């Protein structure tokens, strides 16, 4: 139907291929097909907008996993940004830069993964762009969500004395990437390795949890953990004018992480504290809210753990080892430059 190659398909054929795979906004809204999309937020709601770009050779290696999972992840990282503000996903825009000769089967698999993730979260494709690439594949997604203005959570509300919480478990994605990149002997196979690799290739955005936390009014600040807990917590501290102390012994680690940790000469605290790409939520709240917050976790089925406290030391994030000594990570988290 579309030809056997990207060059045969052409730009407009590619756009048509994309459009047929995604439901479109309904009137009075307008999606793909015009110079701009026309979108209508619900009455009394404020828009939250986020953009993420994934570049081949920087953010992903296509040989590490199926293209379908790459499609899922390219939307998941944007959904996670909305989750961190408590916003409800509504629309997204997709831009693709494709190298000459990129296989149509790969494009279709990426679109399949995107469509799965969009359907799971009720998010509609409203537009985007396509072009050629003289290097690798580039996937750029801009997402738009909405929420009642007073319920939106930012990074700037943490206060000294607040608890620091995280959702789920930490370090799995970084350990999964380590396995993929270094292929540690004895780690390539087995259910534990498969679990942590899947956490890297197919992260789960905590949208429902983020919305419930925002609607509860219990928390003071929130961020998603994309660059590593210590680095992302540093963003909260700078925006809030405070500091943080993290207790490594309290960091939640999965059974798979614990099983695989023994292959390292030293316990891999750096993966849990600074590894990145967990796409869990980190948030702060007053200590008297602990019971109520635990109830939110129970209702959403996602474990929530207190891992530290907010301090008065502006911009300073300290991590404390189980023996009480100061942890010195090889890096505080991922940085592009």
Cα–chain center distance at 259: 25
67 is in an annotated binding site: no
Tokens, residue 276: 């990145």
227 is in an annotated binding site: yes
163 is in an annotated binding site: no
The secondary element (H helix, E strand) that includes residue 115 is helix 104-120
Residue 144 vs residues 6, 125, 129, 215, 232: alpha-carbon distances, Å: 29, 10, 16, 18, 22
CA 158 – CA 270 distance, rounded (Å): 24
Cα dihedral 79→85→88→93 (10° resolution): -40
51 is in an annotated binding site: yes
300 is in an annotated binding site: no
2 is in an annotated binding site: no
226 is in an annotated binding site: yes
112 is in an annotated binding site: no
Identify the bridge partners of residue 21 per DSSP, sorted by sequence position. Answer: none
The three-state DSSP-derived secondary structure of 160-189 is CCCEEEEECCCCHHHHHHHHHHHCCCCCCC
162 is in an annotated binding site: no
Among 290, 297, 304, which Cα is nearest to 163's?
Answer: 290
235 is in an annotated binding site: no
121 is in an annotated binding site: no
Whether residue 122 has a cis bond before it, omega within 30° of 0: no
35 is in an annotated binding site: yes
Helix 207-216 to helix 67-83 angle (10° resolution) is: 0
Binding residues for Mg(2+): 35, 50-52, 81, 129, 224, 227
Binding residues for ATP: 128-129, 155, 226
Binding residues: 35, 50-52, 59, 81, 128-129, 155, 224, 226-227, 277, 334
Binding residues for substrate: 59, 277, 334
């Amino acid at each position: 139907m579309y030809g056997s190659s990207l060059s045969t398909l052409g730009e407009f054929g590619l756009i048509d291929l994309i459009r047929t795979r995604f439901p479109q906004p309904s009137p009075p809204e307008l999606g793909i097909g015009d110079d701009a999309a026309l979108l209508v937020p619900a009455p009394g709601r404020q828009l939250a907008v986020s953009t993420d770009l994934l570049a081949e050779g920087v953010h992903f290696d296509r040989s590490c996993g199926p293209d379908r999972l790459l499609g899922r992840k390219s939307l998941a990282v944007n959904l996670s940004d909305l989750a961190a503000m408590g916003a409800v996903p509504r629309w997204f825009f997709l831009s693709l830069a494709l190298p000459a000769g990129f296989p149509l089967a790969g494009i279709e698999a990426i679109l399949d993964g995107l469509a799965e993730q969009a359907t799971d979260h009720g998010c509609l494709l409203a537009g985007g762009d396509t072009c050629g690439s003289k290097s690798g594949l580039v996937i750029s997604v801009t997402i738009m969500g909405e929420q009642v203005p007073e319920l939106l959570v930012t990074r700037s509300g943490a206060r000294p004395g607040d608890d620091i919480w995280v959702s789920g478990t930490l370090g799995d994605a970084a350990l999964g990437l380590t396995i993929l990149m270094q292929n540690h002997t004895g780690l390539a196979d087995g259910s534990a390795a498969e679990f942590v690799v899947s956490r890297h290739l197919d992260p789960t955005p905590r949208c429902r949890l983020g919305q419930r936390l925002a609607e509860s009014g219990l928390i003071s600040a929130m961020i998603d953990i994309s660059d590593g807990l210590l680095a992302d917590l540093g963003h909260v501290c700078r925006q809030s004018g405070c500091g943080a102390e993290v207790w490594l012994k309290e960091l939640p680690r999965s059974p798979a992480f614990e099983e695989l940790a023994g292959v390292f000469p030293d316990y891999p605290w750096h993966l849990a504290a600074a590894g990145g790409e967990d796409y869990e939520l980190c948030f702060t709240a007053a200590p008297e809210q602990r019971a109520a917050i635990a109830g939110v976790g129970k209702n959403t089925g996602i474990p929530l753990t207190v891992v530290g406290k907010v301090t008065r030391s502006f911009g300073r994030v300290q991590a404390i080892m189980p023996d009480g000594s100061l942890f010195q990570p090889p890096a505080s988290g991922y940085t592009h430059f």
